[in-house]
Structure 1
Amino acid sequence: MAEHKQGNGSPLVASALGRETDYPQQYDPEVLYPVPRQHNRDALQVRGWPWFGFDLWYAYELSWLNERGLPQVALAALTLPADSPYLIESKSLKLYLNSFNMTRFASAEAVRERMVTDLSARAGGPVQVRMHGPEAPLLQGKERLAQATLLDTLDIATEQYELDSSLLALAAGGGQHEACLYSHLLRSNCPVTGQPDWGSVVIDYAGPALDLVSVLRYLVSFRNHTGFHEDCVERIFTDLLALGDFSRLVVSAHYLRRGGLDINPCRSLQPLEPDMGRWARQ
């Protein structure tokens, strides 16, 4: 597959992101724009991939025509493996999904199969697609947070809004600990448009005890950081992993939707299934 990369070294120069774009009137897989993951992973300076994981996208504005011309609607859950060489740029995915709107398909399964084929080809790895009808119940999956610690209730002062991994620290007294932490205060910024991306972060770990205040300050320091959702999660994961020897570490981010899409990247030391549930504000 040809890599979308221009002479200045940026893999985004030719993308539609941040530009006025005409929406395709018929099905068109050519609008999908793959971005090499390695471009941003180089900055992490890690050997190999110290994680398993996936990027789980929810597409809320999927529609097509049946063979008699009657519009059909569905929600699609798209799962890209973290070890695929490419991620899919979000605006190109939106354009691709909208290209189904005026195209006839024999069934919802035909739409799903077409999406699997197209997205897998662009990502360079097997993409899973699940379809949910509009009457499907609200997706759940937050049971593990019942005993989790919400970091946002900590009464702290901070003035650091530029990403700074040195803010992370282990708890005084050391020792091993098992905990699930979460925060709704994550904000990063699109590296192309500069628009803010809002999200919630879950850190589920077993290993050296983390200092909770330091974790919250660290997450807040993403506030002026520019990076794709997937890159931010990989940065959090690798910065935490650098603190010590963890037997379990799962970092997931649940970003708010934009343009009918939300992105939910997850990285883990062990393989896991893409069942992340929903937040009310998503």
Structure 2
Amino acid sequence: MTAVRAPGMWKRSSDVRVGFLYLLPSIILFAVFLFYPMIRTIYLSFFLTDQNGNAAVNVGFENYSYLLTSMEFLNSMKATGLFVLYTVPIGIILALFFALLANEKLKGIGFFRTMYSSTMGISVAASSVIWLFLFHPSVGLFNRILLAINLPQIQWLLDPEWALLSIAISTIWMNTGFSFLILLGGLQNIDEHLYESSRIDGADYFYRLRRITIPMLSPTLFFIITISLINAFQTFGQIDILTKGGPSQSTNLIVYSIYREAFINYQFGTASAQAVILFIIILAVTILQFKLLEKKVHYQ
């Protein structure tokens, strides 16, 4: 006996096919540029490879065990952790401060909004070249200022104690514009009636900031914290231009270590293993954020 499909089932089946056709271009793009590279990276992490990146010898988890006992890789993880700690909190606090200033209804505030967000229009390469001149040991602006106030000059990019901090300063400057614009947009979406009611009740500025602004801005702050953390773990351009991982491996962040291992040392197996470890770290940090921070997000 032949089963007869109801008209509703035919319609749903047709909708699924049409929906799949609409999604097909995105699925192809994701498969080519995301899923295949990810699967290939995981596959290569279990092999020793030749100079062309082809799998040669299956070594199982030896690449991972080697990395977890390698002082060079552990130093890269430490440098990456310090870099994230330097850049993310300070960058978000600065962006929030500027956004609060730019949100005030003052004459000429549009000029300052443009200035605060201007770093978004400058590429990482151009920004890094600018900072390369600022950090120059003899003609750089920073050392000239130190010299003018009779303080010892600093080898910003040549001293292992200062190099990572110098990279962090330039990164904060580069990323502040994006965070500022997102936070400013979030501030301007807060209902003005909430502030008017609090003023009538006699609340001062800091009370409004603590009880209205921050809670209502919490979804935007949560987004910025998540994106900033991921971007900090993936920093590469300014490292390559300013220090190339030096001096003494003090700025050899994990992403730059992956690049060196794959395209300078031609060790694609260990580079892939580093990439997998970095993926696991970012995934764990992101999940932790959602577990701990999302509970404090106030959705309207």
- TM-score, normalised relative to structure 2: 0.29
Greater RCO (CA < 8 Å, at least 6 residues apart): 2
- By percentage of residues, which structure has more strand? 1
In proportion to residue count, which structure has more helix? Answer: 2
Based on CA coordinates, which of the two structures has the bigger radius of gyration? 2
TM-score, normalising length: structure 1: 0.30
